[in-house]
A and B are shown apart, each in its own frame.
With several copies, the nearest count.
Chain A
């Protein structure tokens, strides 16, 4: 089934990494996938975002005009992307930095999680907030299995970070739990 998501936040919040990870998870499930990052000048000081499209059939547009889902890590990203969402979509919102009240849509499914806290608890550091968010999104959307995501960690992470896989796994699973 066709699915898409836009993930957005500050540069440094690990947006690109979870985008890639999701894509690798889809590949593990033999699905087609496109991952399209924003990049360039925006990196400095601005926001970073990426779009992931997953489908069983060949993917047409990698550009997502009206996203089905969002992972939102900071306020400017919510302001930018929420209005474009399709009705009925899912938002995973980083409650640590963004007040859920800022959301203006009531035709969507808003999952606000204190990502830093969950990360801290699950993995001993707030730095895996991105993984928590991804876990939550995957659980909520069912686009791929949570196991595929954790299994894909070794595809998406550079070998020298493989020792961090267990912590990441915990964060993902904690995110999934928080969303279910």
Chain B
């Protein structure tokens, strides 16, 4: 009998501080599995962002730099320009990447910086207690959209994946979810592919992961999980929007 599911080696033993049922834990595991898969733990550098995933360094057995809120992509660019043969990834929430960090991620993508960006879109500011995120759905209540998000005041839930796919720079732009075992498997594949792109020097890879925040959605973990399929995926369709297979150099 063989162990077919176990804790990835790139993870530490530390218990997650995440709330029960929070998808951050699943995404953490998938990233660690990708690192294991390519056996690059010793040359991987994680760039943590500010959000519920701020303690990345507690859970990953790799070197980690904690970036200021929104600036993970810029920090990763700085690191990667020096350590070009290392693997550099960022892990960012939707507040971090799609609000304050908009310019940084767009320009890293546009430059085709050879880094991997894992974008956890839970449609809310988790860490700060449930404020509206740029990706909060229309009509959704949050502590700063108490009457529901309204497009004329707050704008539309922003589709970062679609927007980045409109740029020439990035090599892989994809959206996945982790709400069912099947989707977890697909997400695993895409995240692995994102790291592979980087290892092959193909440039910027970006994976958006639709994710729950049971606590700030005010739902049980199961209800939150179900909401992904019922509300999030219809607005944020899954799939790979862009994939370059050759390295283009001027």
Assembled-state Cα–Cα distance A43/B17 (Å): 9
Question: Which A17-66 residues have C-beta < 8 A from chain B?
Answer: 41, 43-46
Chain B nearest CB, measured from A80 CB (Å) = 17
Chain B nearest CB, measured from A12 CB (Å) = 10
Q: Please, which residues of chain A bring their CB within 8 A of the CB of B223?
A: none
Assembled-state Cα–Cα distance A46/B54 (Å): 15
Q: Please, which residues of chain B bring their CB within 8 A of the CB of A43?
A: 129
Q: Please, which residues of chain B bring their CB within 8 A of the CB of A44?
A: 17-19, 52, 215
Bin chain A's interface residue count: under 10
The reply to whether A41 and B127 contact each other, CB–CB distance below 8 Å, is yes
The reply to whether B18 and A45 contact each other, CB–CB distance below 8 Å, is yes
Assembled-state Cα–Cα distance A41/B215 (Å): 13
Interface membership of chain B positions 1-41, coded 1 if the CB is closer than 8 angstroms to chain A and 0 otherwise: 00000000000000111110000000000000000000000
Q: Name the CB-closest residue of A to B20.
A: A45
Assembled-state Cα–Cα distance A46/B16 (Å): 11
Q: Please, which residues of chain B bring their CB within 8 A of the CB of A45?
A: 15-19
Assembled-state Cα–Cα distance A43/B129 (Å): 9
Q: Name the CB-closest residue of B to A43.
A: B129
Chain A nearest CB, measured from B220 CB (Å) = 13
Assembled-state Cα–Cα distance A41/B54 (Å): 10
Q: Please, which residues of chain A bring their CB within 8 A of the CB of B215?
A: 44
Q: Please, which residues of chain A bring their CB within 8 A of the CB of B19?
A: 44-45
Question: Which A136-159 residues have C-beta < 8 A from chain B?
Answer: none
Assembled-state Cα–Cα distance A43/B130 (Å): 13
Chain A nearest CB, measured from B248 CB (Å) = 33
Q: Name the CB-closest residue of A to B215.
A: A44
Q: Please, which residues of chain B bring their CB within 8 A of the CB of A46?
A: 17
Assembled-state Cα–Cα distance A155/B203 (Å): 44
Q: Please, which residues of chain A bring their CB within 8 A of the CB of B18?
A: 44-45
Chain A nearest CB, measured from B129 CB (Å) = 8
Chain A nearest CB, measured from B72 CB (Å) = 18
Assembled-state Cα–Cα distance A43/B18 (Å): 10
Q: Name the CB-closest residue of B to A44.
A: B17
Chain B nearest CB, measured from A39 CB (Å) = 8
Assembled-state Cα–Cα distance A45/B14 (Å): 13
Chain A nearest CB, measured from B126 CB (Å) = 9
Chain A nearest CB, measured from B240 CB (Å) = 32
Q: Please, which residues of chain B bring their CB within 8 A of the CB of A41?
A: 17, 54, 127
Assembled-state Cα–Cα distance A45/B55 (Å): 13
Chain B nearest CB, measured from A76 CB (Å) = 14
Chain B nearest CB, measured from A122 CB (Å) = 27
- Can you spell out 13 A-B residue pairs with CB atoms less than 8 angstroms apart? A41-B17, A41-B54, A41-B127, A43-B129, A44-B17, A44-B18, A44-B52, A44-B215, A45-B15, A45-B17, A45-B18, A45-B19, A46-B17
Given contacts A41-B127, A45-B16, A46-B17, 6 further A-B contacts (CB under 8 A): A41-B17, A41-B54, A44-B17, A44-B215, A45-B15, A45-B19
